[in-house]
A and B are shown apart, each in its own frame.
Chain A
Amino acid sequence: MSTASRDIIVSNSLGLHARPAMQFVDLANQFRSKVTVSKGGGEPYDADGKSVMQMIILAATQGTPLRICAEGDDADAAVEKLARLFQDKFGEE
């Protein structure tokens, strides 16, 4: 069992709306690790990275810092791949 985490910033202009949230959850479900996405600041929230509803509740707009955490035997790979979605702006723009 290992844990991994990565801090990212939402960079696509539409933010984490339904489609990217679903894209994230689809990818997270390919890993055995538990995935959590956390938002700090004034309205902190820890979303289950495998729940579309919770990911949408993050309401993460462009520029929002988030932390992706994974816990499980494939945690490193999960964080690496999931962070890349944000880097690639979910294929937008």
Chain B
Amino acid sequence: MKLKDFIVTDAIVPQLAATDRDGALRELADALVHAEALPPSAVDAVVAALIKREQNGSTGFGKGVAVPHVKHPSVKRMAGTIGRSVTGIDFAALDHQPVFMVFLLLSPENQPQQHLQAMNIVFSNLQRDMFRRFLRQSPTREAIVDLLDEADQRP
């Protein structure tokens, strides 16, 4: 599996307007709606589920990265997007540091293997210092898409 198999590039937000966690989740979910990857009627329920998931345990796993994710019946096909924050967002991260990169992932129900594969590819890249550094320094959607293409070409 590749990043671009599930990252909806039209929904990437290179500079999040939101400065808080719930606002960022809403902004990214709205971006998926605009890119027609999520039905407008589902967005409120999906955002509520994402917030609830964060309250049960932060997906801010450290190193300036958060990976909010949820399985939801309204999601027919796995869809993800990326938000980049210039100022940093408090995600109650495990290392207590602000989050500058948000990978949001929505999965259909009953496809746990696909979900694990997507998490695998996201974290394999986020583990790499260079990937995180370039992502933080990519000010436009085009620059982020280039970075994803590069990552996907790596064996």
Write out, one digit per residue, whether chain A residues 8-22 have a CB within 8 A of any chain B CB (1) or not (0): 000001111111001
Whether A57 contacts B124 by the Cβ 8 Å rule is yes
Whether B116 contacts A15 by the Cβ 8 Å rule is yes
CB distance from A53 to the nearest CB of B (A): 5
A77 within 8 A of partner (CB): no
The stretch of B34-42, B55-63, B81-89, B141-149 that contacts the partner chain? B55-63
Whether A59 contacts B116 by the Cβ 8 Å rule is yes
Whether A59 contacts B62 by the Cβ 8 Å rule is no
Chain B residue numbers with a CB within 8 Å of A19 are 56-57
Chain B residue numbers with a CB within 8 Å of A54 are 123, 127
Chain A residue numbers with a CB within 8 Å of B62 are 52-53
CA–CA, A62 to B116, complex, Å? 11
CB distance from A80 to the nearest CB of B (A): 25
Closest to A55 in B: B123
Interface residues of chain A, those whose CB is within 8 Å of chain B, are: 13-19, 22, 52-54, 56-62
A17-B116, A59-B119 known, 8 other contacts, Cβ within 8 Å:
A17-B112, A17-B115, A18-B69, A54-B123, A59-B116, A59-B117, A61-B113, A61-B116
Interface residues of chain B, those whose CB is within 8 Å of chain A, are: 56-57, 59, 61-63, 67, 69, 94, 112-113, 115-117, 119-120, 123-124, 126-127
CA–CA, A86 to B112, complex, Å? 17
In this complex, the member of A52, A54, A57 whose beta carbon has the largest number of chain B beta carbons within 10 angstroms is A57
Q: Which of A14, A22, A56, A62 contacts B123 (CB 8 A)?
A: A56
Whether B127 contacts A60 by the Cβ 8 Å rule is no
Chain A residue numbers with a CB within 8 Å of B126 are 53
Known contacts A15-B113, A18-B69; A57/B120 CB under 8 A: yes
Chain A residue numbers with a CB within 8 Å of B67 are 18
CA–CA, A5 to B113, complex, Å? 26
CA–CA, A65 to B69, complex, Å? 25
CA–CA, A71 to B136, complex, Å? 36
CB distance from A76 to the nearest CB of B (A): 28
Whether A14 contacts B120 by the Cβ 8 Å rule is no
CB distance from A28 to the nearest CB of B (A): 14
Whether B116 contacts A52 by the Cβ 8 Å rule is no
CA–CA, A58 to B124, complex, Å? 10
